[in-house]
Structure 1
Amino acid sequence: MQLKLLTGIFLSTFFLYQSQSALSQEITLHQVNKEYQIGKSLQIIVDENKNITFEEIKSGKFDDKFVKSEVDVPNYAYLDANFWFKIKLDDQSSNDSRWYLESSRTQIDTIKVYFEKEDGSFMEYASGDLYPYDSRIIKHKDFVFPIPKTENGKQTIYVWCKGNFSKQFPFTIIEERTFAEASHKTDLTMGILFGVFIAMVIYNLLLFFSLRSLTYLYYVLYMGSFLLAMMALTGYGYEMLFNYWLRFANISNMFFIALTVLFASQFTRRFLAVKKHSKIFHYALFAPEVYSVFLIVVSLTGIWIDGFVLFASKSAAYCGMIGVLVFLPTGIGIYRKGSRPAYFYLIAWTALFVGVIIYVLKNNAILPQNTFTDMSIIIGAVAEAILLSLGMADRIKTLDKEQRQARDKMISTLQENEDLIKNQNQILEKKVAERTSEIMEKNVEIEQQLEEIAAQRDMLSATKLELERQNDNVTSSINYAQRIQKAMLPQEDRIHHVFRESFIMFRPRDIVSGDFYWYTEIEGKKIFTVADCTGHGVPGAFMSMIGINLLNEIINVRNVTDSGSILYKLNEGVQKSLSQESSSNKDGMDMTLIVLDEEKKTLQFSGAKNPLVYIINGEFNIIKGNNNPIGGISKNGNRDYDTHTIPYEKDMMIYMFSDGYQDQFGGPNDRKFMVKRFKKLLHEIANKPSEKQLAILNQEMDCWMKNTRQLDDILVAGIRL
């Protein structure tokens, strides 16, 4: 029992000693070794609450919280925390040796290093992405701090790191000359790699200006963005380009990674003709494009809002992953459709894919950090750039071959067309000769026909002259008949003298008219009539002359003054004058006749098919005539015409008219004016002066007819008693 107790005490003491020994392990600097990877010699506190101060650290309050690192490069991925590192150093090298503490992790917002002095106080150096480049003690892309000498060579160094970045801490202690040589080699290597990118950009930019193809432009933008992203990741961007714009330098790697993916997607679309080959991959490419635009916005927002930087840093890695995971299947799918450019594209993106996967796994602490994992994405990018350039060159070669084939095909086609044209010309020449012979024969026939036409033309000209002469004679005769007709009609001045308020609208269709008006005064009675004879023009004019002569005989010679009797005797006279009982002649006339007796203050009216319209105090009245015309053969024997007697009143407006006005065609639908519209018009103008009424009737008819030909004689008479 005592033996077991002693054994337990011994083992506990041993492990406690080993633990304390591990925590207090020093780094001894010798003259022989020039560079020390100190990852496994680090003691680390992960300050997730971000509240531990240096005063608390140097006081020893948290000495028991330090944990020894077990890896060469501590990797905490994207853990949101501050980190304290403790380094025990024993410098046994010569006094001439100078040593540097170097962090090759270039994306650190703030890094502070505290070197212990002889008196126990500490010397502080501060640097980081958020500090001006000129404030660095050692002007270098990495964070490099000179280690001060102490009298006994022993000292404790504390390092505090803070920032929104992937948390890898590759600390190295390196001798001054070794550091200079390593920096020179690194700068030379990176210069060569960046030079390859720049050469690709310039070469393809020249191709773009030469060929004017957007494929080369997007390739230039893709390579240019990739170059800037690599410079930002390796610290050269901060050193050479963005050292005066610290907030942008802090997010530059995320920003340019997003641009790289965006332009890579656009290049993929055009280089592989994705839309032509596959609708699925065409829409799939929207995923990295949308994500990259989102990352651009988030990273730029991080310039002003610090909390967005960590999110953008995480998103940048996934943006590259999403791009590669879409671009590779796209290349495979297009390659399987037989696209030759997809072969180079697929190999190039496979190389980059491997580099990106290794880099992302390193950032997420799955793979260790070393020179290969740090440079994996750059190596893959250079390989991709070279392979894509070969693909672009092959594309030019393919296009040149296709152009030569197209040119040869065009030349062959032109030769065939030339032979075809030659054959066609021969055929055409033969046909032209045949047609020329036919045309000459036709010309002889045409000349004979022209002679016949000329003879017929001369005959027609003579006939035309004869017809014009005869027409002039007929027109002269009709004009003379017009003068005779006007002489037989009562003068309008006489009508206006008898009836002060009156008008006569008289518009013959031809030179002479079949409509007529007539007036006489006998035994103190005023007799006025409006008549519409059968036909118009010369036939109608003859009938009007018969009617006027018969009215003179019946009224002025035989003293008949009853309106009905006048029409009765006029009917007999027309039938007798035209011998209608023994012939087939049916000509005659429609008539309205009034007899005014001013002494008895009465008005007699009789009508042969035509009515009398009169308006008193705005009231419209109409008296219809008998349905018998004047003249023609009556099937019912003798004709009677009623005599209507109405009181004679002052300001009574009387209208008598033929059917020419209401039967005239016109208007928007080329229809008759109609009786209803005519009566409405008379009612509307009845209270106006007679001159105004005449003007309105003429204007209304002109508007109604427009370009329509007048179909019949028009006669309207109005008298105000």
Structure 2
Amino acid sequence: MNKYKLVLLFILLAQLTSTYASTPINISDKTEVYIDELHQYDINTIQNKEFKNLGEKVLNFGNNKATIWIRFKLQNNFHEPILHLKTALIEDVNLYTPIDEAVYDLQEDGYTKNFFDKEYKIPNTYFNINSDFNPDRYFYLKIDANYLQFWLYYGSSKSYLQYVYDTSIADGIYYGFILIMLIYNLFVYFSVKDDTYLYYVLYVLAVGLMVAHFQGHDAHLWGNIHFIAKRGPMWPAIAGLASVVFGYKFLKIKQTLPKLRALYYTGMGVFGIAILAVLFGFNLACSILNQIGGLFGAIIMLYSSITLINKGKKEARLFLIAFNCYLCAAVVFVLAGADIIPYNKLTDYAWQIGSTFEMFFLALAIGQKINELEMEKSNLIINQNKILEEKVTERTEELNATNEELSVLVEQVYQQNEMINKKNSDLESSINYAQRIQKSILPTDEELKANIQSFFIYYKPKDVVSGDIYWYEKMGDHHFFAAVDCTGHGVPGAFVSMMASNLLREIVAASKSPSPHEILDQLDEHVKKNFNQKNNNNKEGMDISLCIWDDTKENLYYAGAKNPLVILREDNKIETIKGDKKSVGGNIHPHYDAMRFTSHHIPLTDDIKGFYIFSDGIQDQFGGERGKKLMKKGLLDIIQKYGDLNVETQGQKIEADIEQWKGNQKQIDDMLLIGFLP
């Protein structure tokens, strides 16, 4: 493909050199000029002004704000004569042709006029010269252009045929080259999906439109769209912006030369402002910004490519060659526009020649870059495969070693698991044995039935053994019945509960007074002594409800450590006697340590339907639809609900309601509830 590009390039250059082999006569050096700075003269008043002959083959005014008047005389020595202004950048031009002694015939042209209304649908400005003009009088051209450089030609229509043909071939070859670059690189972009090609396509398109504007060929695209036609400098601005953006992306300035990012952004900003200026109608400002931006962009990209070449970036070499072509074209264009160097045939085609070389070398640079990236990608894949193979080998060896270690560990785990299972079995056996021991200290149903009129006991440990126990003892003619809630639950609670049972039995056996508050006071002292709570912070203890009555069953005496006594009377009325606000044992605070328990006397009258003592495990249990605690009120509501039933039947109903409340919720504490009538 590169060979074909090179052939097209040389054909184009050869055609450009022969473009002017047969051309009309250049009369630029035979004209006289007057510069109307204030735009104040017309054809009637301008004839009295003093014109000046520049003596140049090209009429170059560069960036221009004034109205330019050109006068000249013509000889009627051509068949069907034509006057040609060789430039496409004139916005408005009027030709005043002298007729007779005082009359002027007016013709209007310029690229702001509707292209399709012109007599000649070809670029540049052409005027037919009436054969009856007065050769002794001056012709006048009135020109308004923001950027003015042109040749003035005079010749017959026949002489223009070869001229138009030659220029058309040269321009056609150039645009063909542009089209080939666009199609080829767009195809490559869709094939390889590399954004570099897309940026290059956009850049080539912008340069092609810019050159088309310089040559006047863009009029074929939007000659009747006045908004675009009147904003010619827009295309150089867009091309300049595209060139800076392409250079920024191609050279990867963000990664390779981050310190130059601000300069590239500045170049983009200059062309961006130029585009805004021309859109708002400031064509001259746009032209000046285009020239400034063109030089600035060429310089920063030239510096960038040289710097990257020194860093070993191969793709920057062809980029440097390409932008040297761009730089030469830009310098020639700007210097000619500033009237520093002569404006001639070479400068007229500077953009075509420079952009052709530039795009050709840029295409080579992109291709080289993509090839290098493919090679790097291929080498990277090869290296990655080698690394992966090495890692696989290492991992395989590590896995083999790990498997051996795992085999040893599995054997060790298996042995440890057997040991754990044995220990769990031994522990379970021990706990089950402890359960049997704990049950042995609880009163039997036969003992209770023989001494208590009616009762029920709802007893449900959280674990195998419990920190809650119920205790009964008969000494002489007195009956002692208690619900005990020891600190903790499970094995620790069970130890404390067994101690509590033994201490109660010893105290009752040794006590000469069956007063419940004295029994609890003595129990408190024994617990503090057994746990040495005066010398450490041990808080082990218990909450207890203790009831005492004698064989006459006329009175019941109660004392409580935090836990209450609930009495159900006729008409299902609930009466609660609260326990004292201290526990048995574990009272570290001096205030509670000095407190004494209180006895309560309850006459056993016929309106009493039941007594109830319990631990806090039931009222603290979560359950119900909302998963909340039952609370003391909830428990009393259940007791009150079945007040019309006998005590034994109450127990069955109350137990069912508590289990229904609990549902699938996990039991959080030991549960104990005793209902009885002495």
After TM superposition, the score normalised by the length of structure 2 is 0.65
Correspondence list, 1:586-665, <5 A: 591-593=546-548, 605=557, 607=559, 657=613, 660-661=615-616
Aligned mates of 1:567, 1:64 — CA distance in 2: 142
Residue of 289, 293, 301 corresponding to 2:268: 289
Is the contact made by 1:665 and 1:708 (CA closer than 8 Å) also made in structure 2? Answer: no
Q: Which residue of 1 aligns with 2:62?
A: 77
Aligned mates of 1:392, 1:517 — CA distance in 2: 102
Tell me how far 1:76 sits from its aligned partner: 2.9
Is the contact made by 1:614 and 1:653 (CA closer than 8 Å) also made in structure 2? Answer: no
Tell me how far 1:645 sits from its aligned partner: 6.2
Evaluate the alpha carbon distance shift between residue 642 and residue 139 of structure 1 in structure 2; reply closer, same or farther with a 3 A threshold: closer
Aligned mates of 1:64, 1:642 — CA distance in 2: 134
Aligned mates of 2:360, 2:152 — CA distance in 1: 33
Aligned mates of 2:484, 2:179 — CA distance in 1: 109
Code of the residue aligned with 1:42 in structure 2: it is T
Code of the residue aligned with 2:343 in structure 1: it is Q
Tell me how far 1:514 sits from its aligned partner: 5.5
2:238 matched to 1:259?
yes
Aligned mates of 1:624, 1:409 — CA distance in 2: 84
Is the contact made by 2:473 and 2:481 (CA closer than 8 Å) also made in structure 1? Answer: yes
Aligned mates of 1:390, 1:290 — CA distance in 2: 29
Correspondence list, 1:238-387, <5 A: 238=219, 240-252=220-232, 254-299=233-278, 301-302=279-280, 307-387=281-361
Evaluate the alpha carbon distance shift between residue 628 and residue 331 of structure 1 in structure 2; reply closer, same or farther with a 3 A threshold: closer
Aligned mates of 2:379, 2:562 — CA distance in 1: 96
Aligned mates of 1:627, 1:290 — CA distance in 2: 85
Code of the residue aligned with 1:308 in structure 2: it is F
Q: Which residue of 1 aligns with 2:41?
A: 52
Aligned mates of 1:517, 1:476 — CA distance in 2: 13
Evaluate the alpha carbon distance shift between residue 529 and residue 388 of structure 1 in structure 2; reply closer, same or farther with a 3 A threshold: same
2:453 matched to 1:490?
yes
Correspondence list, 1:504-519, <5 A: 506-507=458-459, 509=461, 515=470
Evaluate the alpha carbon distance shift between residue 518 and residue 180 of structure 1 in structure 2; reply closer, same or farther with a 3 A threshold: same
Evaluate the alpha carbon distance shift between residue 206 and residue 567 of structure 1 in structure 2; reply closer, same or farther with a 3 A threshold: closer
Correspondence list, 1:129-148, <5 A: 129-148=111-130
2:48 matched to 1:63?
yes
Is the contact made by 1:593 and 1:607 (CA closer than 8 Å) also made in structure 2? Answer: no
Aligned mates of 2:86, 2:224 — CA distance in 1: 21
Aligned mates of 1:349, 1:162 — CA distance in 2: 33
Q: Which residue of 1 aligns with 2:103?
A: 121
Q: Which residue of 2 aligns with 1:87?
A: 72
Residue of 357, 369, 394 corresponding to 1:395: 369
Aligned mates of 2:598, 2:212 — CA distance in 1: 123
Code of the residue aligned with 2:175 in structure 1: it is F
2:189 matched to 1:208?
yes
Q: Which residue of 1 aligns with 2:31?
A: 42
User: How many equivalent pairs are there?
Assistant: 562
Q: Deviations over 1:426-464 (max 9, x none)?
A: xx99x9xxx9xxx9xx9xxx9xx9xxx9xxx9xxx9x9x
Tell me how far 1:644 sits from its aligned partner: 6.1
Is the contact made by 1:77 and 1:168 (CA closer than 8 Å) also made in structure 2? Answer: yes
Aligned mates of 1:401, 1:643 — CA distance in 2: 100
Tell me how far 1:121 sits from its aligned partner: 2.0
SS at match of 1:228: helix
Q: Deviations over 1:60-84 (max 9, x none)?
A: x651343443433333332322222
Q: Higher Cα Rg: structure 1 or 2?
A: 1
Q: Deviations over 1:447-502 (max 9, x none)?
A: xx9xxx9xxx9xxx9x9xx99xx99x99999999546645653236xxxxxxxxxx
Tell me how far 1:648 sits from its aligned partner: 11
2:139 matched to 1:157?
yes
Q: Which residue of 1 aligns with 2:666?
A: 707
Evaluate the alpha carbon distance shift between residue 609 and residue 371 of structure 1 in structure 2; reply closer, same or farther with a 3 A threshold: closer
Tell me how far 1:365 sits from its aligned partner: 2.4
Evaluate the alpha carbon distance shift between residue 82 and residue 626 of structure 1 in structure 2; reply closer, same or farther with a 3 A threshold: closer
Q: Deviations over 1:264-307 (max 9, x none)?
A: 234323433333322123443222223333333333x24xxxx4
SS at match of 1:123: strand
Tell me how far 1:620 sits from its aligned partner: 8.8
Is the contact made by 2:178 and 2:208 (CA closer than 8 Å) also made in structure 1? Answer: yes
Aligned mates of 1:657, 1:391 — CA distance in 2: 98
Q: Deviations over 1:640-688 (max 9, x none)?
A: x997669999999998636x337998789xxxxxxxx99x957x99899
Code of the residue aligned with 1:241 in structure 2: it is L
Tell me how far 1:144 sits from its aligned partner: 0.6
Consecutive unaligned residues in structure 2, runs of 5 or more: 1-21, 487-492, 520-543, 568-572, 586-596, 624-628, 644-649
Aligned mates of 1:279, 1:146 — CA distance in 2: 58
Q: Deviations over 1:504-553 (max 9, x none)?
A: 8854659999537999xx9xxxx99753489999x99xx99x99xx99xx
Tell me how far 1:217 sits from its aligned partner: 1.7
Is the contact made by 1:506 and 1:715 (CA closer than 8 Å) also made in structure 2? Answer: yes
Consecutive unaligned residues in structure 1, runs of 5 or more: 1-32, 493-503, 552-563, 572-588, 630-640, 669-676
Aligned mates of 2:342, 2:579 — CA distance in 1: 124
Aligned mates of 1:661, 1:351 — CA distance in 2: 97
Tell me how far 1:141 sits from its aligned partner: 0.5
Aligned mates of 1:626, 1:339 — CA distance in 2: 89
Q: Which residue of 2 aligns with 1:171?
A: 152
Aligned mates of 2:340, 2:321 — CA distance in 1: 26
Tell me how far 1:706 sits from its aligned partner: 5.3
Q: Which residue of 2 aligns with 1:184?
A: 165
Is the contact made by 2:39 and 2:67 (CA closer than 8 Å) also made in structure 1? Answer: yes
Code of the residue aligned with 2:226 in structure 1: it is L
SS at match of 1:158: strand
Aligned mates of 1:85, 1:628 — CA distance in 2: 125
SS at match of 2:196: helix
Tell me how far 1:690 sits from its aligned partner: 2.9
Higher relative contact order (CA 8 A, sep 6+): 2
SS at match of 2:149: coil
Q: Quote the sequence identity (%).
A: 18
